A and B are shown apart, each in its own frame.
Chain A
Amino acid sequence: MFYMYLPIAGNSVNILLILGLGGFVGLLSGIFGVGGGFLMTPLLMMFGIPPTVAAASDSNQIVGASTSGTLAHMRHGNVDIAMGVMLLIGGIAGGTVGVQIIKLLRAIGGADFLIAITYVIMLGGVGGYMFWESLQSMKKSKTTTAEAKMSAGEQKPTKKSLLQMLPLQYKFEKSGCHISMLLPLGFGILVGILAAIMGVGGGFIMVPVMVYLLRMPMHVVVGTSLFQILFTCINVTVMQAYSNKTVDFVLAVLLLLGSTIGAQVGTSIGKKLKADQLKIMLASLVLLVCAKMMAGLLMTPTIMVALKGGH
């Protein structure tokens, strides 16, 4: 009774299950500013959706969730459009380069190895650093705040002098920084390359880049990340539908019914949390996915073949 047939995936799914899944991932997306593809795709595969259809339909769903999330964050003044556009341009350029790298590696072999290693290193490194850093700063905030201010003040001048040497200086008001436009562009390219190699939207790499390398306030990071993800996923959806015919519209609609609402709820939850709490929660999530990935690589599989097209 609560089942619906997915014509492109070629399978039926429980409507309530998919709505719930969409809601849960949308919630995470609203709180942390990540697309959630690194969680959604494996979960959909568990429910019998082919990997290629799961990834493509998920990017269609993220378009809905990030529209809803970006709108909510814009109302709170948490989207730095100029910064988002620079990251986006870099991301698209990097993505194109990354796709070519993968094509080349597939031809000469070893692509799967590179993908898996990139996954584990990125998830482990990013998650581990974020976890450690936010734990330290939570401890620090308990001690005298004056000390923390001192050390921050000492670091800033050296960093600024280095960055100020770059051309195209611009004041990113919402992010509260005066830096060269080349900086977000460069980071965008880097994230784009990594995201293309790993086959993900890259939100969970982009967020730490904005927090630690661009030194943006956490809440602006979330809003700006969602803004950037929205455009990345529009591009991916159209490309997947056109060249691979893997977008299952019924699946995407079911997911986005849940996720658009989840994203709104997530935004208001995120607003109530402190930046360190947000960071440590996202770090735990990323580490959890990393641990699962590691287990998959180390344990002897029960079935020695897999359908081509998945990770």
Chain B
Amino acid sequence: MYTEKNIMKRVVYGLLTVVLVSLAWFNSSMAAEGPLLLELAKTNIKISTFYNGTTLDVAGSLPADEDVVVQLSGPKKDVHLKEKGKVAGFLWMNKTDVSLENTPAVYMVYTPTGSTADKFLNPDLGVGYQALVKDITSNPESADKTFIFGEYVKLMEKSGVYAINEGTVKYGEPNDGMKSFIITLTIPSKMSAGTYKVAALAMKDGVVTSRVTEDLTLELSGLPAAISSMAYGRPLLFGFMAVFIAVGAGLLVGVLFRGGGGAH
């Protein structure tokens, strides 16, 4: 009898625990997501031998009367630059050293259809290049941070890792006070391995109402991973291997050409 009672007790406690845990999980997931939902088609991208950048489908939903801006931003790092200036009065050269600290390696903004991007590119909303400037420090501090960063943005836009994509987020038909959104993000080949953040910001009347962020990881795999680990892990051996293979290829082609020519 005693053991039977004990078993019953355990079963009841067990069931109770399951119910409580489920309730807690349900509550917390609802709170975190709020009315804004964001989903990435994949959260891990492999960089293999023939990789040439890719695209990433992103979808979600938000209240029908709000707008959404999607941001893809990369690991923050210190950027070392040379500011150009005139030497001897007429020669343009890389003149002074300037560093921008805490600068994202990648920054892309996707704004929704139906409005101009200017409506959303606002430092107070935390969107756009101007919003990045306040987190960046320049070294030396006397440098014109806004100007230097502005020029750096031009350089990064040229290489495809900074972009403002106006009117690219598309909405679905409103349903039950909610609407869906979709956007295909460009992942350029210049985006190196690392962890990035994809954020969706819901906005209404010039205020951010909610924000959801997901991690996106890019990692080297296969041949690129093997070469990279050797180049950084065993640099001397890597150097000799590179020379050995180059000499080998040169000799091989040299011999092949002699064979083909038949002369001498």
Contact = CB atoms under 8 A, between A and B. Distances in A.
B227 A8 contact: yes
Given A68-B250, A68-B253, A72-B254, A238 B227 contact: no
Contacts of A177: none
B207 interface: no
A238 to B, nearest CB: 4
Interface string A77-114: 00000000000000000000000000000000000110
B50 A67 contact: no
B49 A247 contact: no
- Secondary structure at the A interface, as helix, strand, loop or mixed, is helix
Contact of A247 (B50, B87, B158, B239): B239
A253 B245 contact: yes
A221 B154 CA distance: 45
A132 interface: no
A257 B249 contact: yes
Given A63-B247, A303-B155, A308-B82, A8 B190 contact: no
A68 to B, nearest CB: 4
A285 interface: no
B83 interface: yes
B231 A245 contact: yes
Given A7-B225, A11-B189, A297-B91, A247 B155 contact: no
A180 interface: no
B171 to A, nearest CB: 33
A261 interface: yes
A309 B255 CA distance: 38
Given A299-B92, A306-B81, A113 B87 contact: yes
A65 B84 CA distance: 35
Q: Which of B88, B223, B255 has the most CB of A within 10 A?
A: B223
Contacts of B69: none
A47 to B, nearest CB: 11
B194 to A, nearest CB: 10
Contacts of B151: 303-305
Nearest to B251: A67
Interface string B72-109: 00000001111110011011111101100000000000
Given A7-B228, A68-B250, A257-B249, A307 B80 contact: yes
Interface in A10-57: 10-12, 48
A254 B243 CA distance: 14
Interface residues of A, number: 60
Q: Which bracket fits the contact residues of B?
A: 35 or more
Contacts, number: 184
B251 A71 contact: yes
B236 A75 contact: no
Contacts of B252: 260
A264 B263 CA distance: 14
Pick from B53, B94, B152, B240 the residue with the most CB of A within 10 Å: B94
A237 interface: yes
B263 to A, nearest CB: 9
Contact of B84 (A5, A7, A298, A306): A306
Interface string A282-300: 0000000000000011111
Contacts of A261: 253, 257
Nearest to B88: A113
B80 A238 contact: no
B148 interface: yes
B48 interface: yes
A298 B236 contact: no
B2 interface: no
B250 A304 contact: no
Given A245-B235, A247-B238, A305-B151, 15 more contacts: A7-B47, A7-B225, A65-B250, A68-B254, A69-B250, A75-B264, A113-B88, A113-B91, A239-B239, A245-B231, A247-B231, A250-B227, A299-B92, A307-B79, A307-B155
24 contacts: A5-B47, A5-B48, A5-B50, A12-B53, A48-B190, A63-B246, A63-B247, A64-B247, A64-B250, A69-B250, A71-B250, A112-B93, A237-B243, A242-B236, A247-B231, A297-B92, A298-B90, A304-B84, A304-B151, A305-B98, A305-B148, A305-B151, A306-B94, A308-B97
Which 10 residue pairs spanning A and B have beta carbons closest together? A67-B250, A241-B239, A3-B52, A71-B254, A12-B189, A64-B246, A260-B253, A7-B224, A238-B239, A63-B246
Interface of B: 47-53, 79-84, 87-88, 90-95, 97-98, 147-148, 151-152, 154-155, 158-159, 189-190, 192, 220, 223-225, 227-228, 231-232, 235-236, 238-243, 245-247, 249-255, 257-258, 264
